[in-house]
Amino acid sequence: MVRPGLFSGSKPTNSVKISFRLPYFTKWGESLLVCGSVPVLGSWNVKKGVLLSPFHQGDELIWGGSITVPSGFQCQYTYYVVDDNRNVLRAEMGRKRGLVLPEGIQSDQEIEFRDLWQTGSDAIPFTSAFKDVIFRQSWDSSKEATIGVNHIKLVPEAESIVVQFKVSCPNIEKDTSIYVIGSNTKLGNWKVENGLKLSYSGESETPWRGAGVAVPMFSVRSESDLGVGEFLDLKLLVDWAVASGFHLVQLLPINDTSVHQMWWDSYPYSSLSVFALHPLYLRVQALSEKIPEEIKQEIEKAKQQLDGKDVDYEATLTTKLSIAKKIFTREKDLILYSSSFKEFFSENEGWLKPYAAFCFLRDFFGTSDRTQWGNFAHYSEIKLEKLVSKESLHYEIISFHYYVQYHLHLQLSEAAEYARKKGVILKGDLPIGVDRNSVDTWVYPNLFRMNTSTGAPPDYFDKNGQNWGFPTYNWEEMSKDNYAWWRARLTQMAKYFTAYRIDHILGFFRIWELPDHAATGLVGKFRPSIPLSQEELEREGIWDFNRLSRPYIRKELLQEKFGAAWTFVATNFLNEYDKNCYEFKEDSNTEKKIASKLKTSAESSLLLESEDELRRNLFHLSQNVVLIRDPEDPRKFYPRFNLEDTTSFQDLDDHSKNVLKRLYYDYYFHRQENLWRQNALKTLPVLLNSSDMLACGEDLGLIPSCVHPVMQELGLVGLRIQRMPNEAGQEFGIPSQYSYMTVCAPSCHDCSTMRAWWEEDEERRRRFFKNVVESDALPPDQCVPEVAHFIIRQHVEAPSMWAIFPLQDLMALKEEYTTRPAAEETINDPTNPKHYWRYRVHVTLETLNKDNELKNIIKDLVGQSGRSVPSEKSEVEASLVSVLSTAGAVFETLQLAGAGEKIRLASESNGVPGKDALAAVS
């Protein structure tokens, strides 16, 4: 890992000059600044950091500056790119740099740091996933505090000092050498060929690669659960993972989603609270060691009743809470006054109190819609404290919610620690949104744009786009406290997980924003984005803005879409404002109004077409626009997605078409790139620096060109799904060509399983067999184990850091587990906003753990691919530096004569250096 160099002389002094020097090309209006842990460097207040000055050295732009410090000085520091007002545009990633200045340096000595900008990949070996799990036993905790801190030892009465150079340099190319060069003759006088060549100290010859299994918590089945997977089931899943050669278990979000207390709360990405865990995953048998016999019998009866093919969300949650309340009533005082509970409450009361109060109000008023809560519609600390007061009549209800969250915490913590000890990373999921009727929007309404909705533009999953219903974030407001809400979320997640998936990472660059009256995801705009101004359009000869921005409805279109029923549609939903020209009536001029009117219209059932088809065609009419007018500024416009598909566009003159096509492509593919890059570099580093978890980003969909470079800079691991290739013109991704900083998989929870995908399309199946399997034979109709083996082997052999497989895809390796229809194994249907998330694995974990044949098939695939396989005895296979890099750690010692000389160190960033790379002290 790249760290600054620190060299010094040996004579005593009271103050020393330290200089910083870093090559970095900036844009106009950008400057570099160094900020650190001590007052002279701003005490981590960037506004008070040391601004560096630029100068040119050949073709390089160098930024430099200096400070004067006392001998014995030590600190941590980081570089930032700032604007003219010292606002942070981006900060370097990785661990903070550190220095320790020894005693005995002369006042005329100067210590110069020649650093290079650090990227996020530099910090990957130090994430909790690797440090605390994969290499748990080999990590020397006594050295952790000084990793990345540079020391020079001055030996009393010695004529020289000894310096050891050491650097972790992942992914360097074959036949590449690492050199240290400097101004001293032993460092080559700045000539690479005369510098100090470092020796390789590790044993690994390839980058560390691992594999994992993905399964939603609710989908797990065990002999102990009550109708749904439970946190304590993770211990069995970890055992199976280890025996199958997996270092990772990936889950979907596990936060409480019980907004409506109905089955559609099964949607795991619509959080009631981003901090509270879902009571659905509670194991009631573990609540007490003294459960009375009648409650034990009730539990056994419930196990039989709820043990269905799919999750019965409502019945399962109701049953668990009912049983938990009975146990709580018997021993509430024992728990609530215990030191363990008091510690939990003290650490979590900031979110726990509002959560318990919200749940009480939801149940009391029968709705999570806080506009129906009267005096409690608006949150305040005073009202909250009255609600949760121990003297209140309803305190037992409030404390029951505390009790449930406490036990969920204990059970998940037990499972998480078990996974760590077994060398298995537990990977969580960070949803991009929260429900608009959630604890978070109640407590922090200023952090959300409540008159909007989030989603995704048309893509692989849905040609009409997606509307998730979440309010968009008010990033400007969030930035005022340095994104404290986000930082708290990540801190909470890190209590249980050592890695996490950032859901829809594109949302941190820009979000697809829809008006709250939209039902679909088609007619939206990106936020932030640079709109088309009225003046800009007028300069291009575009002027009829009402014509372009209101639904374009003509008689011929109505007749074409609705046939003989067009007069009914025109009479009930439209007004004729000009001859054969129509507009929607006030009661049906939005998608939600159309849907509502259809539900209450008895006459619609008399039509020849179904209500669904009628609604779909009415939506198409309302979406038949070319430009979307900004609701906050009527002189700004956004081109409608796929505007060329509309009859509104097709009826325009050629000049207008050409202009609008050009502006469309500029808006969606060029105009926003720098804005979105800047936005991501302001928000994502805060998330990544909030914990030491390994971060992965779900980067599927319409990918702006700025996304992957930013992810690479920040050290974010991307996602590659073979059927959704990033490369233009490819039908199927080529796993052997994936980059190292990726997770590869044949499918994910948002699409059909490998088996179902294979069966969906015969022609596509033939193309896959010919182009990927490279066989001219007729492919089998079913995804037989041989096909599954081929696809999975493709992925484990990929260069990707991780190959993570849905459990359903792994079970396809054995014919006896493929008796269930493939379509029934689908977790989510993104085209259906009311999809019921209820898939359960049809085999128990106990059965899978006994199946040595399947475990050995999987373990052989993983092991033969060169991926790391965990030891079932929890032994670590190698030290950190020797497995996390291609060349591992390289080091050499050098005795420097003349300790009074001024010495500088040139450093090189991690990644793939050139043939002769410059090394840094680490």
Q: What digits encode the pLDDT tens for the residues 800-846? A: 999 999 999 999 999 999 999 999 999 999 888 789 999 999 999 99
Residue at 771 is within a domain: no
Residues near 500 by Cβ (< 8 Å), separated by ≥ 6? 427, 428, 429, 430, 490, 493, 693, 694, 695, 696
pLDDT band at 907 (very low <50, low <70, confident <90, very high): very low
Whole-model pTM? Answer: 0.86
Residue at 35 is within a domain: yes
Determine contact, residues 774/780, Cβ cutoff 8 Å.
no
Strands 627-630 and 31-36 turn out to be unpaired
Boundary of a domain, candidates 655, 671, 687: 671
Segment 660-719, tens digit of pLDDT: 999 999 999 999 999 999 999 989 988 998 999 999 999 988 899 999 999 998 999 999
Q: Which residue has the higher pLDDT, 467 or 893?
A: 467
CA pair distance 86, 46, nearest whole angstrom: 7
Residue at 163 is within a domain: no
The CATH number given to whatever domain includes residue 38 is 2.60.40.10
Kindly report the number of other CB atoms within 10 A of residue 912's CB atom. 14
Segment 262-288, tens digit of pLDDT: 999 999 999 999 999 999 999 999 999
CA pair distance 15, 70, nearest whole angstrom: 4
Segment 388-444, tens digit of pLDDT: 999 999 999 999 999 999 999 999 999 999 999 999 999 999 999 999 999 999 999
DSSP secondary structure letters along 737-796: G--SSEEEES--TTS--HHHHHHH-HHHHHHHHHHTS---SPPPSS--HHHHHHHHHHHH
Residue at 575 is within a domain: yes
Task: Take residue 71 and report the two structure tokens written for it.
Answer: 């001998």
Segment 186-206, tens digit of pLDDT: 888 878 888 888 876 654 467
Domain of 581 in residue numbering reads as 513-671
Residue at 736 is within a domain: no
pLDDT band at 893 (very low <50, low <70, confident <90, very high): very low
Residue at 93 is within a domain: yes
Residue at 721 is within a domain: no
Residue at 777 is within a domain: no
3-class secondary structure, 434: strand
3-class secondary structure, 848: helix
Please determine, for residue 340, whether its predicted confidence score (pLDDT) is greater than 90.
Answer: yes
- Domain count for the chain, please give it: 2
Average pLDDT over residues 778-798: 97
